[in-house]
A and B are shown apart, each in its own frame.
Chain A
Amino acid sequence: MLKTFKLGGVHPPENKISANAKIEVLPLPKSVFIPVAQHIGAPAIPVVNKGDVVKVGQIIAKSSSFVSTNIHSPVSGKVKKVDVATDSSGYTRQGIFIDVEGDEWLEEIDRDETLKTDFDFDAKTIIQKIQDAGIVGLGGATFPTHVKLVPPVGMKAEVLLINGVECEPYLTSDHRLMLEKPEEIMVGTKILMKALNVEKAFIGIENNKPDAIQLLTSKASKYPGIGIVPLKVKYPQGGEKQLIKAVTGKEVPSGGLPIAVGAVVSNVGTAFAVYEAVQKNKPLFERVVTVTGKGVKKPSNFKVRLGTPTTELIDAAGGLPEDTGKIISGGPMMGKALATPDVPVTKGTSGILILAESEAKRREYIECIRCGRCVSVCPMGLEPYLLMTVSEKHLFDRAENERVLDCIECGSCSYTCPSNRPLLDYIRYGKAKVGQIVRSRKK
Chain B
Amino acid sequence: MSITIIYTIATLSVIGTSAAVILYFVAQKFKVYEDPRIDQVEQSLPGANCGGCGFAGCRAFADTCVKAENLAGLNCPVGGNETMGKVADILGLVAEKKDPRTAFIRCNGTCDHRPKTSQFDGASTCAIAASVYGGETDCQWGCLGYGDCFDVCEFDAIELRAHLGVPLIIDDKCVACGKCVDACPKNLIELRKRNPKDRKVVVACRNKDKGAVARKACDVACIGCGKCEKECKFDAITIENNLAFIDSDKCKLCRKCVSVCPTNSIIELNFPPRKIVTEEKEECTTEK
Chain A interface (Cβ < 8 Å from any Cβ of B):
86, 89-92, 336, 339-340, 361-362, 422, 425-426, 428-429, 432
Contact = CB atoms under 8 A, between A and B. Distances in A.
Contacts of A92: 134, 140, 209
Contact of B131 (A86, A362, A422, A432): A432
A6 B247 CA distance: 60
Given A92-B209, A422-B122, A429-B127, A336 B140 contact: no
Nearest to B118: A339
B30 interface: no
B25 interface: no
B121 interface: yes
Interface of B: 117-118, 121-123, 125, 127-128, 131-134, 140, 209
A438 B221 CA distance: 37
A340 B118 contact: yes
A90 B132 contact: yes
Nearest to B133: A90
A361 B121 contact: yes
B123 A89 contact: no
A339 B130 CA distance: 13
A426 B128 contact: yes
Given A361-B121, A425-B122, A339 B128 contact: no
A428 B132 CA distance: 10
Contacts of B122: 362, 422, 425
B117 A339 contact: yes
Q: Which of A90, A422, A426 has the most CB of B within 10 A?
A: A90
Contact of A91 (B117, B121, B140): B140
B209 A429 contact: no
B121 A336 contact: no
A89 B135 CA distance: 11
Enumerate the 7 nearest inter-chain pairs by beta-carbon distance, A residue then B residue, closest first: A90-B133, A425-B123, A422-B123, A362-B121, A339-B118, A425-B122, A339-B133
A429 B131 contact: yes
Given A90-B133, A432-B131, 13 more contacts: A90-B132, A91-B133, A91-B140, A336-B132, A339-B117, A340-B117, A340-B118, A361-B121, A362-B122, A426-B123, A428-B128, A429-B127, A429-B128
Contacts of B121: 361-362
A66 to B, nearest CB: 26
Contacts of B123: 422, 425-426
A86 B135 CA distance: 12
A91 B134 contact: yes
B61 to A, nearest CB: 21
Nearest to A88: B133
Contacts of A86: 134, 140
A162 B128 CA distance: 34
Contacts of B128: 425-426, 428-429
Nearest to B137: A339
Contacts of A432: 131
A428 B129 CA distance: 11
Contacts of B118: 339-340
A425 B129 CA distance: 9
B134 A339 contact: yes
A432 to B, nearest CB: 6
11 contacts: A86-B134, A91-B133, A91-B140, A92-B134, A336-B132, A339-B118, A340-B117, A362-B122, A425-B123, A429-B131, A432-B131
Nearest to B209: A92
Contacts of B133: 89-91, 339
Contacts of B140: 86, 90-92
A362 B132 CA distance: 16
Q: Which of B117, B118, B123, B132 has the most CB of A within 10 A?
A: B123
A90 B134 contact: yes
A361 B122 CA distance: 10
B191 to A, nearest CB: 22
Given A340-B117, A361-B121, A422-B123, A428 B209 contact: no
B188 to A, nearest CB: 16
B125 to A, nearest CB: 8
A425 B134 CA distance: 16
Contacts of A362: 121-122
A90 B121 CA distance: 15
B187 to A, nearest CB: 14
